[in-house]
């Protein structure tokens, strides 16, 4: 992954991570998912959401406004 990306959210639930990504993208914040779940067992591992470091404060504000649990 490129420099200056920070993890903003982690969940074992893919759909919850996708919702976070979509909220950020709808507000013009580039976000990517990093799936660290085991292929054979979805119960192990997490889905992480990363954003550019300069968008961190704004992203946290959006997550709070949208009542996304950190």
* Domains present along the chain, CATH in parentheses: 5-65 (3.30.70.1530)
70 DSSP assignment = -
Q: Between residues 4 and 70, which one has the greater pLDDT?
A: 4
The predicted-structure confidence for 2-44, as pLDDT tens digits, reads as follows 789 999 999 988 899 999 999 999 999 999 999 987 666 656 7
pTM above 0.75, yes or no: yes
Residue with tokens 């893919």: 14
In angstroms, the Cα distances linking 64 to 9, 10, 12, 60, 61 are 12, 15, 20, 6, 5
State the Cα angle at 46 between 50 and 4, rounded to 5°.
20
């Amino acid at each position: 992954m490129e420099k200056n990306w920070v993890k903003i959210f982690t969940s074992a639930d893919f759909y919850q991570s996708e919702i976070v990504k979509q909220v950020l993208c709808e507000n013009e914040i580039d976000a990517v998912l990093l799936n660290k779940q085991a292929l054979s067992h979805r119960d192990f591992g997490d889905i992480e959401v990363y954003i550019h470091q300069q968008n961190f404060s704004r992203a946290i504000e959006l997550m709070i406004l949208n009542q996304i649990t950190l």
